[in-house]
A and B are shown apart, each in its own frame.
Chain A
Amino acid sequence: MDFTLWDIVRNLLTGLQWTLALSLVAFIGGGVIGLIVMTLRISETSAFRTLARCYIELFQGTPLLMQLFLVFFGVALMGVDISPWVAALLALTLFTSAYLAEIWRGCVESISNGQWEASASLALTPFEQLRYVILPQALRIAVAPTVGFSVQVVKGTAVTSIIGFTELTKTGGMLANATFQPFMVYGFVALGYFLLCYPLSLSARYLERRLHASA
């Protein structure tokens, strides 16, 4: 079977959609869990803080590939049949949450202590202090690094091809084998990632500059 250039591009575009879907869901899921981990990380209970620190250290200190394998084989051990899509989603969500928790912790801790004290003196509970006083201010600082990290999530999805999830890189691998044109196919694959990531990188840089200009 012969592949025309359009066949290659069309198939890669299908793969690109899965890369995009995985990135989006992992980023949103990672954001929700990351917020919880961040809250534990700055909690007043030292056991929570230690737990959150170990969680972050574990995901930042081990390869994403190993995390994928552990989820993939670990869930299977529990007798649940897990598809590569679910394994990829789960692992990438946990990976994302650890990084976002650490990024956001930095943002929250950059808000001056007086803000916590002032809201405490207004009889807000610690959760209310975080929710209504600290987070709205930290959010402004957090936007740029969060957008910047989204690039890492998109690039991280490439590793899921190894456990057999058919996203852009996996599609590229199959096409390279079928067409014997690895140089061109992987060139297109790289271009696909670049088109997703470069706008994100640019916006992160723009947001950062705007923040510094107004601060």
Chain B
Amino acid sequence: MAYQFDFIPVLQNADLLLRGALFTLELTAIGTLLGVSVGIVGAIVRAWKIQPFSALFGVYVELIRNTPFLVQLFFIFFGLPSLGLQISEWQAAVLAMVINLGAYSTEIIRAGVQAIPRGQLEASAALAMTRLETFRYVVLVPALGKVWPALSSQIIIVMLGSAVCSQIATEELSFAANFIQSRNFRAFETYIITTLIYLFMALMIRQLLGWIGRRYIARNS
């Protein structure tokens, strides 16, 4: 193999990669906050069978979980404008991530909510807790605690999945990689570095979520 590896032209563009990585993290953070919020609402509605929303969420969850993220992204970015709804690249990316994570986290958190014994709710009523207190301390936090590892994995999957957002020109990490390799023709080296950055971010997010779980979720449940 006569190929000479040369990582210097990639490292010269470290600022572009860094900016891209930060944007990926930003998209992931917003997507996670909103997506998990959708998931919490969906999980409650599904677990307590609040009609007609329960049926609607059921259809939503199945539609999203059985179609690729890339197609959802294209549908939002190219399809919605034809209905007169103009959105920018990053808005489409965030919207797709929220919709996607919302569906998965609905199912994940629902399992946690359903695992809470009825007696817990009766006990909180006996202790004269208000409905809000009951929801927060008896339902939500313990439910999240039970499914925290699954939810963390899903958040990481969404972060990694956001790489395809470069296809609608959202300027995140893989977009930066495409840009760099189109200028220096060092495609392999560029993608190796980029892949390592993704791996690093995935490991960091897992650590962070693990810490949040131990600090705020598991301790209170």
A residues within 8 Å of B by Cβ? 57-58, 61-67, 69-70, 73-74, 77-79, 151, 155-159, 161-162, 169, 172-173, 176, 181-183, 186-187, 189-190, 193-194, 197-198, 201
Contacts and interface: CB of A to CB of B under 8 A. Distances in A.
A190 B67 contact: yes
Interface string B191-203: 1101100110011
Interface in B36-78: 62-63, 65-72, 74-75, 78
Contacts of A70: 188, 191-192, 195
Interface of B: 1, 3, 62-63, 65-72, 74-75, 78-83, 156, 160-164, 166-167, 174, 177, 187-188, 191-192, 194-195, 198-199, 202-203
Residue of B1, B68, B188 ringed by the most chain A CB atoms within 10 A:
B68
Contacts of B68: 155-159, 169, 193
Nearest to A197: B66
B79 A61 contact: no
A186 B199 contact: no
B42 to A, nearest CB: 17
A22 to B, nearest CB: 13
B163 A63 contact: yes
Contacts of B82: 181-183
B79 A77 contact: no
Residue of B66, B82, B161 ringed by the most chain A CB atoms within 10 A:
B66
A193 B70 CA distance: 11
A157 B71 CA distance: 11
A182 B71 CA distance: 11
Contact of A151 (B66, B79, B80): B66
B174 A169 contact: no
A201 B164 contact: no
Contacts of A186: 71, 74-75, 78-79
Contacts of A74: 188
B3 A77 contact: yes
A106 to B, nearest CB: 13
A194 B63 contact: yes
Contacts of A197: 65-67
Given A63-B164, A73-B188, A155-B66, 18 more contacts: A63-B195, A66-B163, A66-B174, A69-B187, A70-B188, A74-B188, A78-B3, A157-B68, A161-B70, A176-B78, A182-B82, A183-B75, A189-B71, A189-B75, A193-B66, A194-B67, A197-B67, A198-B66
Nearest to B199: A61
A78 B19 CA distance: 31
Contacts of A159: 68, 70, 164
Contact of A62 (B81, B164, B199): B199
B107 to A, nearest CB: 11
Given A66-B163, A77-B188, A159-B164, A190 B72 contact: yes
